Amino acid sequence: MNRYMSPPSSRARSRGVTLLELMAVVVIIGILGTLAVNSYRDYLLRTNRTDARMTLLRVQAAQEKFFLQNNRYADDTELTPAPADGGLGVPATTPGGHYSVALARPTTTTYTATATAIAGQTADAAACRTLTINETGERTPAGNDCWR
């Protein structure tokens, strides 16, 4: 028999994993880990955006209720007190603490509620760091995924 055709001897058998194989596995795990962490971070930012959207929609509903009772929209000083004290009961920050909430009322029949990213949420996409809604229900920024 030819030496290339003979069965491998016990010395020629692989006895473990080579350093090159181990390094290839480490590199692959590192790449997958990086992708997973980035995807998770993007997911968290989108989830925290929901906190701002829900708060702004709560402000809008409270403003409409306030308007029906007082024939005007509430101003910024009436934003945070509890409804029993004549306010809207909306906190100055979202429940998760990722956005600050402000209310601008240039006239008694108009308002704009704004949620601005704070803390770690400032790493969100630039277009989604500030969300607004007004008395007509117009939401900005429009035409992107920030309000979805």
* 68 pLDDT higher than 60: yes
**Residue 112: per-residue pLDDT:** 93
Report yes or no on 5 lying in a domain. no
Report yes or no on 1 lying in a domain. no
Report yes or no on 9 lying in a domain. no
- In sign, the C-alpha dihedral spanning 10, 16, 17, 19 is negative
Report yes or no on 124 lying in a domain. yes
Report yes or no on 99 lying in a domain. yes
Separation between Cα atoms, residue 146 and residue 148, nearest integer Å? 6
Report yes or no on 130 lying in a domain. yes
pLDDT tens by residue, 82-140: 776 767 777 788 888 899 998 888 888 999 999 999 988 888 888 888 999 999 999 99
* 12 pLDDT higher than 60: no
Report yes or no on 14 lying in a domain. no
Q: Which two tokens stand for residue 123?
A: 């790493």
**The total number of structural domains that make up the chain:** 1
Report yes or no on 78 lying in a domain. yes
**Residue 132: per-residue pLDDT:** 93
pTM of the model: 0.72
Question: Residue 39 is part of which domain span?
Answer: 19-147
